[in-house]
Amino acid sequence: MKVSIVIPVYNEEKYIENCLKNIINQTEKPDEIIIIDNNCTDNTINIAKKFGVKIIQEKKQGMIHARNCGFNYASSDIIARCDADTLVPNDWVKKIKKNFEKNNLDALTGPLIFYDLFSATYFGVKFYFWFMKLLTGGVEIIVGPNMIITKKIWEKVKNQVCLNDKEVHEDIDISIHIHQVGGIIKNDSNLSVQASGRRIKSNPLSFFFEYPIRAIKTLRKHK
């Protein structure tokens, strides 16, 4: 079973090195690591080149376009996506493979912990995804920086996913589309990753207002 790791980047020079170090040092190595250059103007790509990873450019700006580019390019049976500020545990790939070997799955996710915010934020994030699952009628929501799907299910939904980052949460959106085609999504509580809470720190109101509003827009779009 082969695993590709996709990392969309836009001006992430402060974070990409630590992210790639964690991925390179996996106990079970990924079969390919793909950086999607979403029009970086800083030193992100020069840093990434030092790690010998594949670098693909996506000129259409936005997380969804960058993610889709990476998923389309990935050659493995399993596609794992994280963000440039994500720190994955050294057994992340090993646990991913074990999940897909033991279970009939189309997608996999796990907890997200913000390493630079107070610990109570973890429960807020957990509640948020639980609440989204409730509102969607039981759809297991894939966490964006901890997103693992099969190439097969991606081929089924890639022409259906929404493309406007301002209208939808991309992780909720792809989760709903996978569910709509009968895909099976698992949340493994032992498959946690850490990420920066920098966006929440820089604009706390976005977490409590903009995020929920966009979540409601996402749900309305899929009624």
Confirm whether pTM is higher than 0.85. yes
Give the full edge-to-edge strand order of the sheet including 147-150: 54-57, 32-37, 3-9, 78-81, 147-150, 107-109, 185-187
User: Residue holding tokens 């000129």?
Assistant: 59
Q: How many CB atoms lie within 10 A of CB 118?
A: 9
pLDDT at 135: 78
pLDDT tens digits, one per residue of 1-42? 999 999 999 999 999 999 999 999 999 999 999 999 999 999
pLDDT tens digits, one per residue of 173-205? 999 999 999 999 999 999 999 998 877 667 666
Closest CA to 165 of 45, 15, 56, 38: 38
Percent of all residues in the chain with a pLDDT value above 90, rounded to a whole number = 74
- CA 183/CA 188 separation, integer angstroms: 16
pLDDT at 127: 72
Domain extent at residue 39 = 3-221
Percent of all residues in the chain with a pLDDT value above 70, rounded to a whole number = 91
Q: What is the CATH number of the domain that holds 94?
A: 3.90.550.10
Q: How many domains does the chain have?
A: 1
Take residue 172 and report the two structure tokens written for it: 């909720």
